[in-house]
Amino acid sequence: MNAPLNIALIGQHGAGKTTLAQALETEFNLVRITTGDLLKAQYYSDREIREALDNGKYVGDNIVTRLVGDELTKHPRVILDGFPRTLPQAN
């Protein structure tokens, strides 16, 4: 099962997106992409991300969209866990 496949799970906090994403990831051999993991990976190398997170603010849509877009080019079969979160991200 190597055909391209992309799934996006969108819902309220606590709705079970991550639980479902983990099951789908295993069942369909997908790469699960979460914005939290991407931001943590860039925390020390990106001053803008670090400042936003350290101050309890959201990281800008442009940064989040770029990070997710970069990951999408690396993997043909993904599940987006909680992305998009805003209308600009969806666009």
The per-residue pLDDT string of the chain (91 residues; one tens digit each, 9 = 90 and over) reads: 566 778 888 888 888 988 999 999 999 889 999 999 999 999 999 999 999 999 999 999 999 999 999 999 999 899 998 888 889 988 8
User: Alpha-carbon distance 91 to 78, whole Å?
Assistant: 18
Tokens of 31: 């790469």
3-class DSSP state for residue 14?
coil
User: Alpha-carbon distance 46 to 2, whole Å?
Assistant: 34
pLDDT at 9: 85
pLDDT at 1: 52
pLDDT at 12: 84
Assess contact for 17 and 81: CB atoms under 8 A: yes
* Side chain identity, residue 14: G
pLDDT at 76: 86
The angle subtended at Cα 21 by Cα 14 and Cα 68, nearest 5°, is: 95
